[in-house]
Amino acid sequence: IRDRYPSQRHIGVVGLGAGTLASYGRSGDRIRFYELDPLVVSFAKRYFSFLASSLATVTLVIGDGRRSLDQELGRTGSNGFDLLVIDEAGQFSLAATIAVAPAASRLLLLGDPQQLPQVSQGTHPEPVDDSALGWLMDGNAVLPDAYGVFLPDSRRMHPAVALPVSRLSYDGRLSSHPC
């Protein structure tokens, strides 16, 4: 996005789990975070510096990002985001992704639908019940290259744990980064 928008960028981020993106902000950029849990916001402000030290103008919206984006779209017709980042997109429904997509000219979906499934309290017809990333994967163990980037190095598992997980869930493409 730096190359496509060399001057000021307007970025929306659903989920403060991707809050470190603020550290990439430059003077004149605007980054708006949507976070459901006020405790996550308090924790991030207290223990991390990426929000306060960003060169960008950072704003936080506490509440359901899907609803907040929908309300903003209803008022203005567009948020004018150059990029909308959805953290934990493996938990973000396809329907919600389609609903918030008009907020930006580009979407970046982060996450792994094999780790945490989408939370659902009802039964919906396919593919509405799928997550956005799950729908893009279309039954593949790893997101096809045409749709994104698979990060093959895990920094969370010992190699002895990563090997069988890789074989069982990621077509043998996941490895443990030597720590």
Which residues 6+ apart lie within 8 Å of 159 measured at CB?
A: 175, 176, 178
| Nearest-angstrom CA–CA distance, 178 and 159 | 8
Q: pTM value?
A: 0.81
Separation in Å, CA 89 to CA 26, 42, 112, 132: 25, 23, 7, 6
pLDDT at position 54: 95
Q: Count the neighbouring beta carbons within 10 Å of the beta carbon of residue 123.
A: 7
Q: Average model confidence (pLDDT) for the chain?
A: 84
pLDDT tier, 148 (very low <50, low <70, confident <90, very high otherwise):
confident
